[in-house]
Structure 1
Amino acid sequence: MGKLAESSDGYDKHDIRPYASLANSKAAVLFIQENWGNRSGEFNSNYHGSKRQSDSWEMTVFSTVKEGKVTLNWNGLFELTPTNAHGRLTYAENKTLDSRTLKRLQLIDLETLEVIPAVSAEGELNSYEFSMGADKTSRQFRWVLGPINASHFDPASGAMKYIKEHQPEVLRQRRGIKKGGKFGLPPS
């Protein structure tokens, strides 16, 4: 996730889809876009335009490990410098831990409503540990860049709607069952 000058808040070429649905993976972090029309779905990345000082990204953590502990950690901020090489725009990465942007970034657990700053008061990168619970396979989070307001605590309803609507399709894909079909792959 991040902000790029040539990105938009909707779908753009920097928003990358996984090769197959990851909603029933042992563990996965996805950005689910329910309001992108025929481009709606699961994404490994979500880049927004760079014009606004404040922004937010909804992400979903999936795990099929019942009551498993999950730790979210981040290893810094990568500032991207655009370079035009032979008519093709590329980006050079520069990892930084001392960034005004990183200090303004916070994670909200949309279940517990806990707010976790990306960086501690001592300047160290934070992490966040939680348990999925016995009957859950997904959990919603929101990254917020800038001041947090009441709307940032609203549930990620678009992602949950997408998951509920596509869950049977995702399960069929994982089991090798075609829509309307009766047989899956042989047991492994």
Structure 2
Amino acid sequence: MDRSWEELVARFVRLSGVVAEIDDPLTWGLDLEEETVTGDEHPDDPTSQRFLRAYRTYDGETLEVETLHTPCPESMVDDVVRAAASGALAAPLHADLRSPDFAEEFDDYRSAMRAVVEAVDAVPLEQAAFRLGGAEMPCTRVVVKGVAAVYVPVGDRAVVVAGSADLLGCVDVVMRPVRSLLQQADDA
């Protein structure tokens, strides 16, 4: 069941209603493909509802910017960063899910997903800085095979960005009130 934009905004706006987005995505050759709230509605879990903006470059690279409704406890940060990196590395595999031969290729897909998770788990996380809203913010980061994922606590929210490590080092991520960029309308 598709939800209207207003329902998605109402579902996410719990606190201040700000979410992360790429400032001027066209500068970086990015096209916004999706904006939605993902996950379920468990208020105790900071990852249960994430405001997602998914971008794609003209070359087909993906970049996802997620805003968590609250920062994660320190014990969850490792899993959140690694899951984001695994998802970014697996994005090309997910593009093949529409293949009519997917059922036959399921074992290959599972093997590839295991390899992705193992590759991400083998790389240590690092404490670094990520530019958010024009300021250097402390972050937890992992870089695997040219893909990076960062977790940045920011005020009463947290931001997770995953995609090409080169692109992550260039884009400007900002926090703005929830609004539909795809529909070009301010909603909060």
Shared fold (TM-score greater than 0.5)?
no
Q: Which has the higher helix share?
A: 2
TM-score category, normalised to shorter length: 0.3 to 0.5
Q: Which has the higher contact order (CA 8 A, sep 6+)?
A: 2
TM (norm. structure 1) is: 0.39
User: Is the radius of gyration larger for structure 1 or structure 2?
Assistant: 1
